[in-house]
Structure 1
Amino acid sequence: MIRNTLKTTLLSQALLFALAAPAAFAQDAALDGSTDAAPDPKQLDSVVVQGEIAYRNRTADIEPVLSYDLEYFQRFEPTTVGDMVKRVPGAAFVGSDIMEYDGVQLRGLAGGYTQVLINGKKVPGAGDDRSFWIDRIPAEMVDRIEVLRSNSANRSGDAVAGAINIVLRDAYEFDGGYLRLGATRWDDGEVNPSFGAVASGEALGGRILGGINVQDRYRGKYKRSDRFSDPSMQELVSWEDQEEIKDGRDYSGNVSYTADVGETGRLSIDGFYVKTDRDVTEVSYEEEYDDGEVITADVPGFSTVDQKNWGIGAEYRFDMAGGTTELDFDYARFEDSSIETEEAHAYVDGEWDESEAERLDIDASDTETSFKIAHKRWLGGTEMQFGVDYRAKEREIDHAYYEFAADNEGDPVVYQPDTMVGSLIEETRIDPYLMFSGGTGVMAWEAGLRYERTDSDIESSQDGDLVRVSKDYGELLPSLHLKWDLTDADRISLSLARSIKRPDFNALIPALLDGEYGDNDYIGNPHLDPETANGLDLGYEHRLGRRGVVGINLFYRDIDNLIELVNTGEPSDEMIGTWEDLVDDGEYATIEEAMAAEPANSWVFTSANVGSGKVYGLEFDLSTPLGAFGMENTGVFMNYAYVKSDVDDFMGERRFNNQAKSTFNVGFIQDLPTLDASFGLSYRKQGDAYERIVGEEVTISYGEDLEAFVEKRFGNSFSLRFTAANLLDASKDEVFHKFNTLEDQFARDYDEFELETEEAGPSYQLVMRWAF
């Protein structure tokens, strides 16, 4: 229960244009002799009144980078970074509730394999797998989104699947200001307002930018579960109807200050703050059939979420010793103070039988402090860069479990302590690196070497029992990137890099969790080594005219030291309790006799480094105007990613858990210059994902998502935009195969087979923007 929660014709035409565009634009590319260059500073009023359609940027980076300005997404009025990232190639969201996009998964791998950066720097997050929930950052704070497909030596190497870099608006790059007012109407009639403001200009001897955003966050959904004795679905065991409402408000702000110091120095200071207040209310009705009896239950649940993310950083760059020296200091913190409760009031054939309740209090904090010193200089025709990153991380979490059982119907709920689990994980990293880059205008290269040394101390307490463990490890991470410009329009890129994934926090904590996997228990392993991966990316990119681009990328990851569940061979607490009861009942004289007569069938599992895994696939993306068809004011975008993987677990071969097989996005924007208006559609489909753990196997499917917008512009400073989301009323569908023991799972002796679906309905948003 609570513990487990921790854990269209027009469209077809657009797709046809998208598929035909590469050939049609081949001759146009030769007309564009421009080279990649840094964009001119942008006026903030361009976010309000967009004079033309925005397309994916073609960067000059040697490493493979996809870059998307906010304007690329803005016509569809995304509310969060998650709403933006869901449109980029290869970004999946498995496990998120319908119409929510929190834990991003590049290449379909679990969130912990994807690194999330803010302004190129690591930040702590809520995920026990070290992931950062990107729906916590409002879209209004963002300048651009970068997809970093491979590692470089001057960046932290824990990005096996790649990295998402959220670049916030910077005072040096923007000028002006605007206001944003909006309202969203949900399928159940609820209306939520939102407000945002951004301003930038000269101040305090430099330039300063500030932004604030307040938005009500709401999601109402309906869930239906049908449970059977086995997949034949001939015997209905129980069913459940549930309504859930998430109702809250997010507050956020960011500030950026940049000033020139002396002749060569530049000082930059930036900070951000995000606060989430949310109430989650669940109302469930269950009906179960057991030996002719009908057992009904009212199951109300209520949760409160109070989370804060904030960070501040300072960077100073100056010329020194024939090169440029950079000093960085960053401090970021995540705090979570949440409560989850669930009650169950059961009736047998209409008569009260029992009332039970559970409560979980979470008090968590995660702090990261980092310092960097780096120097860059030219050695002949080669640029050399070297430096050291220092990072200290402290993650502290307390879980307090409470329970209640009523003696009589109507007894007030009075919680009693059940289990208290506390943990403190401290990690200190010192990562030196050396990197060289160079090349001609046709061929460019980058080669680097990074050594990441981690010293960790893990402390766990469970009901007063304290355990302390230290663990140190180091990994050498080489990287090589090649970029070959065949013509002004055609480019080939090759990347080879080694990356690392540190163990999930929960997997490190040596606390015993009773019944975590069916009847099986789980205990963490603080001696885990990190997973490492050797990766390859091979890409081709072609410029289409002046603004369009099409690309295809093949990738491969060979992962070693894979962390999977293993059986310790120790019987579970439930099994031990069964033996003790047999002795107490006089059936056996000793525990040993009971153990011999009644062999164990439930165990204590842990995590261990076992075997290896492979992940591979392809990614295609297209973003271009249709000028070759005489439709210069029509822009199309399409991307598709197909992923496949192989890994061995306790039952044999499978894909990586929760890896969506594919992601597909396609859409168009039609600008109407004579009317100062535009409209467009966006369609998204995510492939199925599968998960197999001890006691449970799950297949997750998401329905098709269709969004649309209509925009009217008034002069150079005012715009009105109407957007609609989830127009196909997509659902999230899950199929559960449940087993009590590992033996049952091998024998396919089911405890339960469950079908679950959830829906949320369409939503509609009206947004006004005014530039000043």
Structure 2
Amino acid sequence: MFNYPKKKLALSITLAISSVTMFPALAEENDQQIEEVVVKASPILDSQKAALEAKKQATNFVDIIAADTIGRFPDQNLADSLGRVPGVAIERDQGQARYINFRGAPFKYSPIAIDGVVIPGAENGRVARFDSFPSVITSRLIANKTITPNMPGDAVAGFINIETHDPFKFDGFAFNADLGFGQQDLGEGDIEKTALKASYSNENWGAMIYTSKNSREQITDNREYDWLSENQLGGVEFRSYEITREDEAFGGKLEYRFNKGSGRVFVSLLESEFNDHELRNQFVFDIQGGMEQFGQNAPTGTDNYVPLALVERWLQDGDYKSATSTKTLGFEYNLKGWLLEGRVSITDTENLTHIPLLRGVGGAGAFAYDLTDLEDPQAELFEVNSTTPLALSSLNYAANVVLNAKSEMDIEATQIKFDVTKDMNLFGLNSEIKFGFNSDSREADGYGFYMDFSDASLYGFMATGINPNDYDTGVAWDSDFTHGVGGTYYDNVALRNDWEAQVGDLGNIDIPAGDLIIIDETVTAVYAMATSYFDWGNLVYGARIEQTDYTSEGPTGTFEDDYINVLPSLHVNYDLGQDKKLRWSVTTGVSRPNYGEWRATTSVIPISSTISAGNPELDAEKTIGTDISYEWYIGDASMFSAAAFYRSIDNVIYVSSSNVDGGAFDPSLSGSTWSYTQSVNGKDGNLSGAEVNFIAYASDFLDVMDGFGFSMNYTMLDSEFTTLTGEKYSLPGTSDTIYNASVFYEAHGFSARLNYQYRDDWFSTTENASEPEYWSGQKRADLALSYALPSDIYGAEVSFYFNANNLTDAVDTRYVGTAATPNQVERYGKRYMAGVRINY
């Protein structure tokens, strides 16, 4: 699928222009856009104005991304957009933004909501993935860094609210389209983007509908190491992934507004789905295992030859899928000065991973390697105990075995919100009071990563007469590494299809009771808060009370528990002048275990001699913290801000590991040593940081530099917690340093922006303190260009864009212990896209 000829971007643009001329004049000429900010010539400037004005008026510490930042300069997904916010760092999967570390915190400390409705994480109930939500739905992103009582209590580091578009933004009919085509540099994979949005409104009725589809083909080139010591390599893996990632979304909103602005009722829908189809070709070279045949250990040093290495071949045709469906019915009504707001939302999330692996074992060859450059290891394969070159494709394997891995999680959530707001005199002060109720009930049913490890004959493989060698295409891997071992692609799709035609669906796996996750959870909250206004600013104060009830079912019974958390907060917003603000707050929060941690079951994983136990008795993490910030708004669209924060965290959840006798869990395993892992509560956690943000538009300082500008933010972070054995680690996701810088120019319809992001090393979110894995620091540069035609075409504004991503050709590296012993090095290349946007 990656042998297609290259897309001709010029041809793609020509086709897009042609599509514009096909639009009939459906209404009177209307040069308005379906965006939060109406712009024609300066999308960067005008969107930043809107964002800064909203930030200035907010009663808490917040950063905002206005619609045009996403619409005019479209990012791959919403995580890429948030990556420009001070203190926010992106964690990517094979180059694609998937999660964010908000102020250096673990993912689950920052829940995600759409129009205020919290979205459960499809994988574990807590962490929603940003690559599951399209930018087409987004009017603006609100990144709350301090939390008020009307926000969920588990927003320890922050609360991210995705506001969707308002169908009443424009009168009559409006339409927006975004069509893009591109190419991934490594493997020449195709990239396609389609986003369509239409709305209609009159005096009382408003309707909006949208759809989007994104597809990306890429090669991910991977090398993985198995170290015996810092200077002794036990084995190395060469992997090449052929990946097709697709996300689709459909949704809309229907709204009726009462006369005289007294209220509204609405219904909204969002259906989104993400599918990662992954073909893996992998070869494992076991140096230590080969040398043990001679009664020796693997040699030390960076440049070696061994007369025998054991070789394995792994072939995979697998899928990673997730889907979210959210349906909301809501109303707002002003009853004699009392604003009543209600929401009922039903959200279903599905997550499914299935990666059947055919593993050829018992191959052998002599092996030479050079690790002088750990980001580009050199290797050659020879016939056993010789220097006669040996083709990797000619290796024979003594046996085939199957590793059929699967995980699944379905979550049904029902949320009910009711809020009341009233302006009144409170304690002699003009004030706004707000109080409300929220119920979030969830039913989770699934299982973690179950691995069925069997001889291939048990799957009927040997009986079919299928020979994996027959599926070797002979096509050499696309690679950014020096290609040493001569890997070739296998037709894994045909191999799996022929196999399943003989033996049936490989996904029909009997999941042991010890792997199941069955959890019911209800969080019921009430809150009350007030905003009182003074000559010098305002004071926001109040409290939220949350009751948590949950049950976790297991083979030996059901565990039940409930507890109450009282979460007060205080926010002071002091006006130092017309354009200067000082903010200070004290907040509290609670972070509950995810569903994999909370399960009342124990998994036995033979392939890794591991026993993984849930812990339904885990305590929730409790936090208290303070923030202080200074903001100076300069001119029309420039600002300087500085902030610092601290969070104290009790009961930090992490994964503990110890060695046990397998006989304690299965009599047949008696006498063997197994690794026992379980989530437990640590102590003495803290998270702190300081950030500086400067946005400068030249016209605010020098008229002669009109059109130029830049932004820069710099964040310093620190975190720590203590394990039960007294060891100290940083929290997962904390980089010591994060900074972002952008320079831009826009004038006469032309816009250009170059953005650079950097974060240094951070503790991986595996959260296993016994095997501390870290990501090495990352540097990434992206370029975005656009040009708006000076005249409308059939009443539609038309603009063209070109994006170039990962210009630094980033290499993702992970390591255990120190950077001198990386366990994974991964490349995926640059990405280019050109397209057209139409706004009618």
Structure-1-length-normalised TM-score: 0.84
Residues 53-202 of structure 1 aligned to structure 2 (within 5 Å): 53-54=44-45, 55=48, 56-58=51-53, 59=55, 60-94=57-91, 96-128=92-124, 130-174=126-170, 176-187=174-185, 188-202=187-201
Q: Name the structure 2 match of 1:672.
A: 747
Q: Name the structure 2 match of 1:633.
A: 707
Residue range with higher mean Cα deviation, 96-105 or 551-560:
96-105
Match of 2:34 among 33, 44, 50: 44
For 1:244-265, what per-residue CA distance to the aligned partner results, in whole angstroms no more than 9, with x for missing partners?
A: 1221422212312332225522
The question of whether the paired residues in 2 share the 8 Å contact of 1:342 and 1:357 is answered with yes
Q: Name the structure 1 match of 2:617.
A: 527
Q: Name the structure 1 match of 2:334.
A: 319
Q: Name the structure 2 match of 1:387.
A: 436
Residues 37-436 of structure 1 aligned to structure 2 (within 5 Å): 43-44=33-34, 49-54=40-45, 55=48, 56-58=51-53, 59=55, 60-94=57-91, 96-128=92-124, 130-174=126-170, 176-187=174-185, 188-202=187-201, 205-231=204-230, 233=231, 235-263=232-260, 264-289=262-287, 290-291=290-291, 292=294, 293-320=308-335, 322-349=337-364, 352-380=397-425, 381-398=430-447, 401-406=451-456, 417=510, 419-420=512-513, 421-436=515-530
Q: Name the structure 2 match of 1:701.
A: 776
For 1:130-170, what per-residue CA distance to the aligned partner results, in whole angstroms no more than 9, with x for missing partners?
A: 11001111112211111100111112111111111111112
- In the TM superposition, residue 736 of structure 1 has moved relative to its aligned partner by 2.5
SS at match of 1:57: helix
For 1:192-246, what per-residue CA distance to the aligned partner results, in whole angstroms no more than 9, with x for missing partners?
A: 2221111222169411122111221333210112333211x2x332211111122
Match of 2:807 among 727, 749, 754: 727
- C-alpha separation in 2, matches of 1:411 and 1:287: 28
The question of whether the paired residues in 2 share the 8 Å contact of 1:146 and 1:165 is answered with yes
The question of whether the paired residues in 2 share the 8 Å contact of 1:49 and 1:718 is answered with no
One-letter amino acid matched to 1:358: L
- In the TM superposition, residue 767 of structure 1 has moved relative to its aligned partner by 1.4
1:761 maps onto 2:829 in alignment: yes
- In the TM superposition, residue 448 of structure 1 has moved relative to its aligned partner by 1.0
Q: Name the structure 1 match of 2:485.
A: none
- C-alpha separation in 1, matches of 2:38 and 2:774: 40
Residues 510-589 of structure 1 aligned to structure 2 (within 5 Å): 510-514=600-604, 521-566=611-656, 571-573=660-662
Q: Name the structure 2 match of 1:27.
A: none
The question of whether the paired residues in 2 share the 8 Å contact of 1:428 and 1:456 is answered with yes
- In the TM superposition, residue 606 of structure 1 has moved relative to its aligned partner by 2.7
The question of whether the paired residues in 1 share the 8 Å contact of 2:63 and 2:144 is answered with yes
Residue range with higher mean Cα deviation, 168-177 or 136-145:
168-177
- C-alpha separation in 1, matches of 2:549 and 2:707: 56
- C-alpha separation in 2, matches of 1:411 and 1:217: 37
One-letter amino acid matched to 2:730: R
The question of whether the paired residues in 2 share the 8 Å contact of 1:677 and 1:713 is answered with yes
Q: 1:140 to 1:227 in 2, by over 3 A?
A: same
- In the TM superposition, residue 373 of structure 1 has moved relative to its aligned partner by 2.0
For 1:84-142, what per-residue CA distance to the aligned partner results, in whole angstroms no more than 9, with x for missing partners?
A: 11221222234x32421112220111111111111122012223261100111111221
- In the TM superposition, residue 174 of structure 1 has moved relative to its aligned partner by 4.5
- C-alpha separation in 2, matches of 1:378 and 1:517: 63
The question of whether the paired residues in 2 share the 8 Å contact of 1:273 and 1:310 is answered with yes
- C-alpha separation in 2, matches of 1:530 and 1:396: 21
The question of whether the paired residues in 2 share the 8 Å contact of 1:49 and 1:719 is answered with no
Q: Name the structure 2 match of 1:6.
A: none
Q: 1:67 to 1:218 in 2, by over 3 A?
A: same
One-letter amino acid matched to 2:742: G
Residue range with higher mean Cα deviation, 718-727 or 274-283:
274-283
The question of whether the paired residues in 1 share the 8 Å contact of 2:125 and 2:411 is answered with no
- In the TM superposition, residue 300 of structure 1 has moved relative to its aligned partner by 1.3
SS at match of 1:316: strand
One-letter amino acid matched to 2:416: F
- C-alpha separation in 2, matches of 1:496 and 1:642: 20
SS at match of 1:83: helix
SS at match of 2:80: helix
Residue range with higher mean Cα deviation, 384-393 or 472-481:
384-393
SS at match of 1:506: helix
For 1:517-538, what per-residue CA distance to the aligned partner results, in whole angstroms no more than 9, with x for missing partners?
A: 9755331111222111001110
SS at match of 1:727: coil
- In the TM superposition, residue 270 of structure 1 has moved relative to its aligned partner by 2.1
Q: 1:241 to 1:478 in 2, by over 3 A?
A: same
- In the TM superposition, residue 425 of structure 1 has moved relative to its aligned partner by 1.1
For 1:714-744, what per-residue CA distance to the aligned partner results, in whole angstroms no more than 9, with x for missing partners?
A: 1240101111001110010111359xxxxxx
1:710 maps onto 2:755 in alignment: no
The question of whether the paired residues in 1 share the 8 Å contact of 2:517 and 2:595 is answered with no
Q: 1:655 to 1:337 in 2, by over 3 A?
A: closer
Q: Name the structure 2 match of 1:610.
A: 682
Equivalenced residues, count? 692
One-letter amino acid matched to 1:667: S
The question of whether the paired residues in 2 share the 8 Å contact of 1:615 and 1:643 is answered with yes
Q: 1:575 to 1:518 in 2, by over 3 A?
A: farther
Q: What is the RMSD computed on CA atoms of the aligned residues?
A: 2.8
- C-alpha separation in 2, matches of 1:105 and 1:666: 18
SS at match of 2:808: coil
- C-alpha separation in 2, matches of 1:218 and 1:50: 33
The question of whether the paired residues in 2 share the 8 Å contact of 1:575 and 1:602 is answered with no
- In the TM superposition, residue 359 of structure 1 has moved relative to its aligned partner by 1.3
* Aligned-residue identity in percent: 19
Q: Name the structure 2 match of 1:496.
A: 586
- C-alpha separation in 1, matches of 2:423 and 2:750: 50
For 1:664-697, what per-residue CA distance to the aligned partner results, in whole angstroms no more than 9, with x for missing partners?
A: 1101111132xx3222211111111125625422
- In the TM superposition, residue 341 of structure 1 has moved relative to its aligned partner by 1.6
Q: 1:383 to 1:361 in 2, by over 3 A?
A: same
For 1:405-462, what per-residue CA distance to the aligned partner results, in whole angstroms no more than 9, with x for missing partners?
A: 14699665777757452222111222111111111353111101110001111113xx
The question of whether the paired residues in 2 share the 8 Å contact of 1:518 and 1:694 is answered with no
The question of whether the paired residues in 2 share the 8 Å contact of 1:519 and 1:574 is answered with no
Q: 1:522 to 1:277 in 2, by over 3 A?
A: closer
One-letter amino acid matched to 1:718: V
Q: 1:266 to 1:720 in 2, by over 3 A?
A: same
One-letter amino acid matched to 1:283: N
Match of 1:440 among 534, 554, 576: 534
Q: 1:228 to 1:338 in 2, by over 3 A?
A: closer
Q: Name the structure 1 match of 2:11.
A: none
SS at match of 2:271: strand
- In the TM superposition, residue 577 of structure 1 has moved relative to its aligned partner by 6.9
Unaligned runs of 5+ in 1: 1-40, 583-599, 739-751
SS at match of 1:756: strand
- C-alpha separation in 1, matches of 2:823 and 2:612: 26
The question of whether the paired residues in 1 share the 8 Å contact of 2:524 and 2:547 is answered with yes
The question of whether the paired residues in 2 share the 8 Å contact of 1:345 and 1:354 is answered with yes
